[in-house]
Structure 1
Amino acid sequence: MPIGVTINVLSVVFGGIVGTLMGNKLPARIKDNLTLIFGVCAIGMGIVAIDMMKFMPAVILAVVLGTIFGFIIDLNKWITTGALSLQKPIAMWMKHGHTKLSDDNVTAALVTIVVLFCASGSGIYGSIDAGMTGDSTILISKSILDFFTAVIFACNLGIVVSMVAIPQFIIFGALALSAQLIFPLTTPDMIGDFKACGGFLLLATGFRMTKIKEFPVADMIPAMVIVMPISWIWANWIVPLITF
């Protein structure tokens, strides 16, 4: 199991514990502004990743086609539905704690953290990247953001936030292990384009977090599945045709 997955999971666990201990002591001003800082960090991570791009047309094509496919299958809805299913067993732990939030607000908050920690573009990208290349930079960077995000949510929801680490470990672990099987079939150029594609998702995530634009990040996720095949096709079929 890549170390990045373990670190990311532990960041949520300990963030939930710290937030529970803090309770309502964290000022709202800090909570609101930290989210903006998280967004700026995501944008910076995305810029660095995009710089690894080898075949720009292939990556752009993958992002566009992948997003279109995401819209067609309504991936965002499927992810939300999955998050709703996961939050139900997690919500049972709320019976052992207390919160001032209404039941509807608790459900909405739990769905939000399940999506953030278990199905975010950065998490999926980071897990696959760590599995294929052994580079956990994205996941470790994400862990820093997740720790403080968990603290913020746990101030209201309590220790239940730490429980989200269980499905997170299962999902990210499965992605990382599956990616290890794919790696022998890849080339350095394909890996570079994959990282760049993930960078675009990180940029979109950052823009959402800073409230610049509500990009459909969930619907963009299929781009990471098709970017490497498109990169290979571009390198082996298209480049020879356009190179003189």
Structure 2
Amino acid sequence: MFGVIVNSLAIICGGILGLIINKGIPKRLDKSIMDGLALVVTYMGISGALKGDNPLYVIISMTVGIIIGELIDIDNLLNKLGSYLDEKLSKKNISNSDEENKISKGFVSSSLLFCVGAMAVVGSIQSGLSNDNSVLLAKSVLDGISSIFFAASMGVGVLLSSIAVFLYEGIITLGASGLSNILSTNVITYMTCVGSLLIMAMGLNMLKACDIKVANMLPAMFIPIIMGIFNII
């Protein structure tokens, strides 16, 4: 849980800093920093994807996982969830002030960004399975820096997203740790490979080099578990 705690604290610290400097951040600096972070994410994805020895397992995992993800259309479901939460929390009525609506918008937007992503899932699984917090720690840096800019523009609601991140990543981490006795090293390796490809896709999306529905690929990360159960890998 160390990586989960650090990730949550990074968002809080970054958010506080963003509130302090909320008088404005130059747009050019904002874009340059986000582009740099996107390159780092892409590099992390490439380096992690090269850990496996047999690309066939990665191909099978990606193909089957994408088919499942597209049939379920996870990306569309998440978009609908985000729209629903935004509508409910940001809906104006007699009891809601403009400030409360701003808090709701910041909370919903930042929670979705920090939680819905391959790094959150892959990092939490690695933390639970092998106590490897490297991805979560790297994500903490990215989220901490991002929260500075988000809090500067969206307010204190960004800090509240740390609660959602803690619960989301914590549940995945604890769930993964319960599977540690039945998962082999090979299974973990290829889960990392597949997850790293999704991280790379996120980086490319951040660079606006493409528009990949990463959410619809998330099931691919769990296909190596099935192959491990049936002794395929």
Which residue of structure 2 aligns with residue 168 of structure 1?
Answer: 165
Unaligned runs of 5+ in 2: none
Give the alignment of 1:65-76 within 5 angstroms: 65-76=64-75
Check conservation: 1:193, 1:228, Cα contact below 8 A.
no
Q: Which residue identity does 1:83 align to in structure 2? A: G
Deviates more, 1:85-94 or 1:186-195: 85-94
Q: Which residue identity does 1:18 align to in structure 2? A: L
Q: Spell out, residue by residue over 1:66-99, the C-alpha distance to the aligned partner (whole angstroms, 9 max, x if none).
A: 1121111110122223334555687599844796
Deviates more, 1:178-187 or 1:74-83: 74-83
- How far the C-alpha of 1:110 sits from its partner, in A, is 5.2
- How far the C-alpha of 1:58 sits from its partner, in A, is 1.1
Unaligned runs of 5+ in 1: 240-244
Check conservation: 2:16, 2:148, Cα contact below 8 A.
yes
- Normalising to structure 2: TM-score of the pair? 0.89
Q: Which residue identity does 1:57 align to in structure 2? A: L
Q: Give the direction of change, closer, same or farther, for the CA distance of 1:90–1:10 in structure 2 (3 Å limit).
A: farther
Which residue of structure 2 aligns with residue 187 of structure 1?
Answer: 184
Q: Spell out, residue by residue over 1:7-30, the C-alpha distance to the aligned partner (whole angstroms, 9 max, x if none).
A: 111111111111111113311111
Check conservation: 1:59, 1:231, Cα contact below 8 A.
no
Which residue of structure 2 aligns with residue 20 of structure 1?
Answer: 19
Q: Give the direction of change, closer, same or farther, for the CA distance of 1:18–1:205 in structure 2 (3 Å limit).
A: same
- How far the C-alpha of 1:229 sits from its partner, in A, is 1.9
How large is the Cα RMSD of the aligned pairs? Answer: 2.4
Q: Measure the CA separation in 1 of the matches of 2:165 and 2:81.
A: 13
Fraction of identical pairs, as percent: 26
Which residue of structure 2 aligns with residue 33 of structure 1?
Answer: 32
Q: 2:193 aligns with which of 196, 217, 226?
A: 196
Q: Measure the CA separation in 2 of the matches of 1:210 and 1:224.
A: 23
Deviates more, 1:17-26 or 1:199-208: 17-26
Residue 132 (1) aligns with residue 99 (2): no
Give the alignment of 1:100-111 within 5 angstroms: 107=105, 111=108
